[in-house]
Structure 1
Amino acid sequence: MLVAAAVCPCPPLLVPEVAAGAAPELEPLRAACAEAVGELLASGAELIVVVGTGPTPEVWTEGGAGSFHRYGVELAVRLPSGGVEGPELSPSLTVGAWLLEQAGAVLPTHACAVPADASSARMLGLGKGLADLADRVGLLVLGDGSARRSVKAPGYLDERADGYDAAAARALGAADTEALAALDPVLSAELLADGRAPWQVLAGAAQGAGLTARLRHDEAPYGVGYFVASWSLISS
């Protein structure tokens, strides 16, 4: 069953070597992610599953590796357990592997890439399946909010973006699985909110688990919604 989750955004700028001169600007976000991942690892979970978007559905159960070479940085990371079998981790999962590496994670770790346009029903079902992988499962869920929060955002300004992200932040901060499950895939795609599919995996995994949540971070420094949240059992 699911006993804890950390929700983090996945911009490559989280990695100081990639951010270079802009690294100090994201230090509060980086610190919030570190706290959320630290709480996840301290939850008593016996298996961590990293969930993020990828161009095709992929699952890594025997380790996996990714790199930041595409950003001009000679930095490679790998999941805490196993080797480097299988395809290269998607960019979002690579950020997740970096977060776990920074936290010194040693727990058995799987990874799951989901297409950004996957159906809600499919993501909810996947989440339920992941929660059944072990007696105590923890999720590291990676995804950004809308990338249309300002005129300088990657997708330019869309007036619907603020309301969408506010609703997503409320749901993530309240462990509201119904609200996450109700996020519209079409609207999410129009607003370039690639966190929708991973968040719905979390919603499926957390159904009936009785988790509580804390929203640690909610900002849009580059016109992209970045949320950090921790979900945990009251007794953990």
Structure 2
Amino acid sequence: MISRVAVLPHPPLLVPELLGGGDAEADAVRAACLAVAGELAACSPSWTAVGVGASPPSGVGTFAPFGVDVRVTLRDEDGAPDPGWPLSALIAGWLRGQVGAREVDLRTVAPDLSPDACAERGRELIGATALLVLGDGSHRHGPRSVGRPDERAAAFDGRVARALADADPHALLALDPAEAAELGAVGRAPWQVLAGAVLADGRRWRSTRAQALTPFGVAYHLAVWEPV
């Protein structure tokens, strides 16, 4: 039975070696994410994680495709690094190492998975104890955006932020996949898997921490949910 949920973004900037120097905004995002991950590790050293990607990887991952050979694992393993890990797996492994979790069981989903299919995947997770949900919001906020700015981004991520602050799974399931894809919000499918998991759980939930940051034109959502 799920005891705690942590919702986090998965930008490479969390890894300080990739920045080549200090950045106050990146430092603030990293500190906030590590605080949330620390709360999840305090609940359980074994995590079930949900993120966008292909088949869940094994062995050793590396951030080499992002510029620096920082190696991570989802559990204590050795071997040659695999440069093909999805970003969700890399960040899950990095967070595990930073806060001392023992292992991460990563469940990957396709970014275009329908809300109903996401909810079904969520129902498979009700046996988890500590659930980590990884994904970013829109990358089209303002002049620093990765994609060209889109005036819909603020409203979309406002809905996400309210849903996470209110621990409202129905609001998460109401997010439109087409709009999310147009806005570059890869967290949509993992958030809807979360919604399916807590609805299948059947208990009421509350948010004990919720924060939304957009320092680089990308919305980063952080939240901690616990059953009431």
> Do both proteins adopt the same fold according to a TM-score greater than 0.5, normalized to the shorter chain?
yes
User: Which has the higher mean CA deviation after the structures are superposed, 72-81 or 4-13?
Assistant: 72-81
| Cα pair distance change 1:59/1:217, threshold 3 Å | same
Q: CA RMSD in A?
A: 2.0
| Cα pair distance change 1:215/1:149, threshold 3 Å | farther
Q: Which one-letter code corresponds to 2:5 in the other structure?
A: A
Corresponding residue SS for 1:123? helix
Alignment of 1:126 with 2:121, yes or no, is yes
- TM, length-normalised to structure 1: 0.87
Match of 2:211 among 190, 214, 217: 217
* Cα deviation code 1:51-104 (max 9, x no counterpart): 1111x3x245xx54321001120211001356679x753112211110111001
Q: Give 2:47's aligned residue.
A: 48
Structure 1 runs of 4+ with >3 Å offset? 81-85
Pairs within 5 Å for 1:189-200: 189-200=181-192
Match of 1:146 among 120, 128, 138: 138
What is the total number of aligned residue pairs between the two structures?
Answer: 224
Structure 2 Cα separation of the partners of residues 187 and 22 of structure 1: 34
User: Which has the higher mean CA deviation after the structures are superposed, 15-24 or 219-228?
Assistant: 15-24
Q: CA deviation at 1:142?
A: 0.7
Pairs within 5 Å for 1:1-236: 1-43=1-43, 45=44, 47-54=46-53, 56=54, 58-59=55-56, 64-80=59-75, 88-106=84-102, 108-132=103-127, 134=128, 137-207=129-199, 208-234=202-228
Q: Decide whether the 8 Å contact of 2:49 with 2:92 is kept in 1.
A: yes
Q: CA deviation at 1:152?
A: 2.7
Percent of aligned pairs sharing the same letter: 41
| Cα pair distance change 1:83/1:141, threshold 3 Å | farther
Structure 2 Cα separation of the partners of residues 13 and 25 of structure 1: 10
* Cα deviation code 1:190-212 (max 9, x no counterpart): 11100000101111111123221
- TM, length-normalised to structure 2: 0.90
Corresponding residue SS for 2:20? helix
Structure 2 Cα separation of the partners of residues 27 and 46 of structure 1: 25
| Cα pair distance change 1:193/1:119, threshold 3 Å | same
Structure 1 stretches of 5 or more lacking a match? none
Q: Which one-letter code corresponds to 1:20 in the other structure?
A: G
Structure 2 Cα separation of the partners of residues 204 and 143 of structure 1: 16
* Cα deviation code 1:142-201 (max 9, x no counterpart): 100111111331111111100000110111111100000111101100111000001011
Structure 2 stretches of 5 or more lacking a match? none
| Cα pair distance change 1:92/1:224, threshold 3 Å | same
